[in-house]
Amino acid sequence: MTQLAEHPPIDQIWDWLHAVPDPEIPVISLTDLGIIRDVAYDGDTLVVTVTPTYSGCPATSIINLDIETALRDQGIQNIRLKQQIFPPWTTDWLTPEGAEKLEKYGIAPPTAAGGPKRCPHCGGANLEKLSQFGSTPCKAQWKCTDCLEPFDYFKCI
Amino acid sequence: MSAVDQQALFQFLLRMGDNTLVLGHRVSEWCGHAPVLEEDIALANTALDLIGQTQFWLGLAGEVEGKGQDADALAFRRDVWDFRNFLICEMPNGDFGQTLMRQFLFDAWASVTLAHLQTSSDERVAGIAAKASKEVAYHLERSADTVVGLGDGTEESHKRMQAALEYLWPYVGEMFVSDDVDTAMVAAGIAPDPASLRAEYDAIITRVLTQATLDIPQSAFAHKGGRDGSIHTEHLGHLLTSMQWLQRVYPDASW
Ligand SMILES: [Zn+2]
């Protein structure tokens, strides 16, 4: 097993994955989103375990492709992507850094209360829900009655 | 403990997956046609969740069957008589109100059933149920809100919602009829007896429909035959011709 020493260390792999953007919300990375559940070597093969945000999320296959491409670019040859649905993804796995990036980008981060805390544009607190669903399965549409701008809210699940 | 009857488990999984597949396809027919943009997006997202859940259920069904069929093969290469969905899932969309009433009647069943399935003795089933439950909670919140909004809305919307409820009501009973497959699932601790879920279901729909100022029909008559594939409505064949067209004309086409 001396061969293992030639593999890039796991921490290094996490750093590389940290640089892979989410295809639908490119300001946050896959690790910010908390969908990479595990990285480990199985012999010579690097196994990356990924969980979907929503069952039907159409970005799932693109995400797998992006992970594979990013790791191949770093010279890793044998990669296996493993899908894991349990425990189900929760917005609790979104990192604080990820939540901050979302808000700066104009998407209100999830809150346990089930609605946005403030308008990501003006910081106003007078908000109303427009629709339970937004531009992607993970978001809902809200509106700020202070600045009158609509915005996406990252749903808490 | 006896070994789990794999054939019964396969049937159970087909029922779960066919419900979400057929309803998901029906809901997707609204894409680009809903009354307002927000509703169009909401319907498309609901359809997407349902199709995603289908991939898990039918994927597992194919695995259990052990004949090399994946979720796509099961979705696109079976004909009407092989489908195991509730008849209510294949009923036409009708107007927007009828679509949301159908969604509500289904979501309430799904939320109750999935909650029980999370403690399934089969951890694969429990895993899918845990994932789907989170999505269905959103679906139910939205369909219930819409049923209340339209039921307790204008005279016209109230009339349409009452008509939708009366049209769909005879298809509710099928969700709670147990058969041999269910008996096998209960014995193996995989799934609850559907008949045992009726009280929980009634509690949800009575609360929402009462708030919507709608009268719950008294008739207990139920159309059956979807869950065991013995009789589907004429609507399913039409749905499949559209859903399966590409794979029938160009078998194995991929992109
Ligand atoms: Zn604002």
User: pLDDT of B32-82, one tens digit each?
Assistant: 999 898 899 999 999 999 999 999 999 999 999 999 999 999 999 999 999
The C-alpha angle with vertex B55 and arms to B99 and B11, in degrees rounded to 5, equals 85
- Verify whether the Cβ–Cβ distance B45 to A55 is below 8 Å: no
Q: What is the mean pLDDT of the segment spanning A4-13?
A: 84
Residue count of chain B: 255
**What's the CA gap between A127 and A141, in Å, rounded?**
11
Q: How far is CA B236 from CA B88, B206, B232, B244, B248, in A?
A: 11, 29, 7, 12, 16
Query: Could you tell me where the DSSP H helices lie in B5-122?
Result: 6-28, 37-65, 71-76, 87-90, 96-117
User: Model confidence at A58, in pLDDT bands (50, 70, 90)?
Assistant: confident
Residue A25 has what DSSP assignment?
S
B135 touches chain A (CB under 8 A): yes
Query: B134 in the Ramachandran plot: left (φ > 0), alpha (ψ -120 to 50) or beta?
Result: alpha
SS (H, E, C) B117-177: HCCCCCHHHHHHHHHHHHHHHHHHHHHHHHHHHHHCCCHHHHHHHHHHHHHHHHHCHHHHC
Most B-contacting residue of A128, A133, A153 (CB-CB within 10 A), to test interface: A133
pLDDT > 90 in chain A, percent: 82
Residue A93 has what DSSP assignment?
G
Exposure string over B220-249, b if 16+ CB within 10 A, otherwise e: eeebbebbebeebbeebeebbeebbeebee
B206-215 pLDDT tens trace: 999 999 999 9
Whether the Cβ atoms of residue B109 and residue B175 lie closer than 8 Å to each other: yes
Q: What is the mean pLDDT of the segment spanning B7-32?
A: 98
Q: Judge residue B159's burial from the number of C-beta atoms within 10 Å of its C-beta, 0-12 exposed, 13-18 middle, 19 or more buried.
A: exposed
Whose tokens are 């429909």? That residue is B209
Give residue ranges of A with CB < 8 Å to any B CB: 52, 54-58, 85-90, 130-135, 137, 141, 155, 157
Most B-contacting residue of A37, A53, A55 (CB-CB within 10 A), to test interface: A55
Closest CA to A83 of A119, A120, A105, A55: A55
Centre of ligand 1 to C-alpha A156, Å, is 20
Token representation of residue B55: 């991939």
pLDDT at B107: 98
pLDDT at A5 over 80: no
Whether the Cβ atoms of residue B101 and residue B91 lie closer than 8 Å to each other: no
Q: Enumerate residues with CB within 5 Å of ligand 1 (an ion).
A: A 119, 121-122, 124, 144, 146-147
Centre of ligand 1 to C-alpha A100, Å, is 17
- Verify whether the Cβ–Cβ distance A55 to B135 is below 8 Å: yes
- Verify whether the Cβ–Cβ distance A155 to B55 is below 8 Å: no
A52 min Cα distance to partner chain B (Å): 9
B53 touches chain A (CB under 8 A): yes
pLDDT at B255: 75
pLDDT at A118 over 50: yes
Q: Domains, chain A, ranges and CATH?
A: 10-89 (3.30.300.130), 95-154 (no CATH)
Which H or E element spans position B235? helix B234-243
**Mean pLDDT score of chain A, rounded to an integer?**
92
Whether the Cβ atoms of residue B206 and residue B165 lie closer than 8 Å to each other: no
Most B-contacting residue of A91, A132, A151 (CB-CB within 10 A), to test interface: A132
pLDDT at A2: 46
Phi, then psi, of B162 in degrees rounded to 5: -65, -40
- Verify whether the Cβ–Cβ distance B55 to A56 is below 8 Å: yes
**For residue A96, which amino acid is it?**
P
**For residue B110, which amino acid is it?**
A
Which of B39, B127, B145 faces A85 most closely, judged by CB atoms?
B127
**What's the CA gap between A127 and B228, in Å, rounded?**
48
- Verify whether the Cβ–Cβ distance B130 to A141 is below 8 Å: no
A94 min Cα distance to partner chain B (Å): 16
Closest CA to B216 of B225, B206, B224: B206
Whose tokens are 């669903």? That residue is A133
Centre of ligand 1 to C-alpha A62, Å, is 33
User: Model confidence at A117, in pLDDT bands (50, 70, 90)?
Assistant: very high
Which of B38, B49, B123 faces A137 most closely, judged by CB atoms?
B49
Which of A58, A88, A155 faces B131 most closely, judged by CB atoms?
A88
SS (H, E, C) A112-137: CCCCCCCCCCCCCCCEEEEECCCCCC
Exposure string over A98-134, b if 16+ CB within 10 A, otherwise e: bbebbbeeebbbbeeeeebebbbbeeeeebeebbbbb
CA closest to B52 among chain A residues? A56
**What's the CA gap between B221 and B88, in Å, rounded?**
14
Which of B38, B47, B134 faces A157 most closely, judged by CB atoms?
B134
B84-136 pLDDT tens trace: 999 999 999 999 999 999 999 999 999 999 999 999 999 999 999 999 999 99
Beta-strand ranges (E) seen in chain A are: 36-42, 45-50, 79-83, 107-108, 127-131, 139-144, 150-154
Identify the CATH number of the domain defined by range B3-215+232-249: 1.20.1260.10
Are β-strands A139-144 and A127-131 bridged in parallel, bridged antiparallel, or unpaired? antiparallel
Helices B96-117, B37-65: crossing angle, 10 deg rounding: 40
pLDDT > 70 in chain B, percent: 99
